[in-house]
Amino acid sequence: MAALPPYASSAQIAWHYGFRTICALIFLFLMLPIMVIVPLSFNAQNFFTFTREMLALDPDGYSLKHYNDFFTNSDWQGALGNSLRIAPMATLLSTGLGTLAAIGLSQQHVPFKGAIMAILISPMIVPLIISAAGMYFFYSRIGLQGTYWGVVLAHAALGTPFVIITVTATLVGFDRSLVRAAASLGANPVTTFVKVQMPLILPGVISGGLFAFITSFDEVVVVLFVGSAGQKTLPWQMFTGLREQISPTILAVATVLIAISILLLSTLELLRRRSERLRGMSPG
């Protein structure tokens, strides 16, 4: 796909540009939702399309009123608060337990490794609607349905596979002789872990944690069933908003969420580069 050679035939030239046009259109398809929703969230009207003033780039066509609504409306603020109460707790649980398990799994001799791995990864494989149905049935039996901890447990379970996958991937490049060196110099296992192993695998742990956070922060199916009105999260509020009466405030919320995902994506990319540097690989 390098530049066209000087001897290219006219058919080759046509294909070269034709192919790039097709690709550009597909990229447009990929980015279209984001490109449309961000400017529309600044609409001064309660419409879901571009008004004449917006197209003319008239400042009167734009306003922050939907953002204002998002930050003052008690429904939206309550939902945001719930999301911020549930996601960090779920992340903490899944990252803590997941990191320990990943370290255990990357030991040389692990009995029943395949079966254990299958169980730990299963929350990622099973479709959300089935997890949600099962959790709804089981959590109502044990009295967790409709409680804060019920939602946190459910989200933590959904987030663990991501932590396991990212941390195990980081541990593949981990040099075991470092642990042995620390031990031979008299460090006990806890000191070795905190001072030697943890700093090296930290990028993997943080990206696993970010994955777990975004899983919980974006999740709507399970919380719809396991939660009750008291645990209404931001995605849930968006879901009801979209199903019942779509209000333009959703566009503002969507833009805020897009900003958050850009932030997360860049953090992950930085962490990936750092981790590769630490492992002596050149950044890709």
Contact letters (x/-) for another protein, 227-256, by CB under 8 A?
--------x--xx--xx--x---xx--x--
CB of 107 to another protein, least distance (A): 4
Distance CA 38, CA 50 (A): 11
Residue with tokens 């110099």: 185
CB of 78 to another protein, least distance (A): 17
Nearer to another protein, 165 or 183 (CB): 165
Residue nearer to another protein on the CB measure, 57 or 141: 141
Q: How many amino acids of this chain bind another protein (CB under 8 A)?
A: 90
62: which strand partners? 43
Q: Which C-beta is closer to another protein: that of 105 or that of 278?
A: 105
Query: Within 13 Å of residue 101, how many CA atoms lie on the same side as its CB?
Result: 20
Q: Which of residues 186-225 bind another protein (CB under 8 A)?
A: 211, 214, 217-218, 220-221, 225
Query: Using CB under 8 A, which of the segments 64-72, 115-123, 177-185, 194-202 binds another protein?
Result: 115-123
Is 19 or 277 the residue whose CB approaches another protein more closely?
Answer: 19
Neighbours of 20 (CB within 10 A): 11
User: Which residue among 54, 86, 123, 232 contacts another protein (CB under 8 A)?
Assistant: 123
Of 140-169, binders to another protein (CB under 8 A) are 141, 153-154, 156-157, 160, 162, 164-166
Identify the CA nearest to 67 among candidates 282, 269, 247.
247
Which residue among 109, 186, 229, 280 contacts another protein (CB under 8 A)? 109
3-state secondary structure of 127: coil
Residues in region 40-79 near another protein by CB under 8 A = 40, 48-50
Q: Which is nearer to another protein, 202 or 260 (CB)?
A: 260
Q: Give start and end residues of each alpha helix (H) in the chain.
A: 10-40, 52-55, 65-72, 74-105, 113-125, 128-141, 148-172, 176-184, 189-192, 198-218, 221-226, 234-243, 249-278
Among 44, 80, 92, 103, binds another protein (CB under 8 A): 103
Residues from 263 through 282 that contact another protein (CB under 8 A):
264-265
Q: Which CA distances in Å does 73 have to 33, 39, 80, 214, 223?
A: 25, 21, 11, 24, 22
Residues near 4 by beta carbon (within 8 Å), at least 6 away in sequence? 12, 13, 16
In the block, tokens 């953002």 appear at: 67
Stretch that binds another protein, among 33-41, 63-71, 72-80, 174-182 (CB under 8 A): 33-41
Compare residues 37 and 183 and give the one whose CB is closer to another protein: 37
Tokens linked to 197: 């192993």
- Could you give the CA distance from residue 118 to residue 124 in angstroms, rounded to a whole number? 10
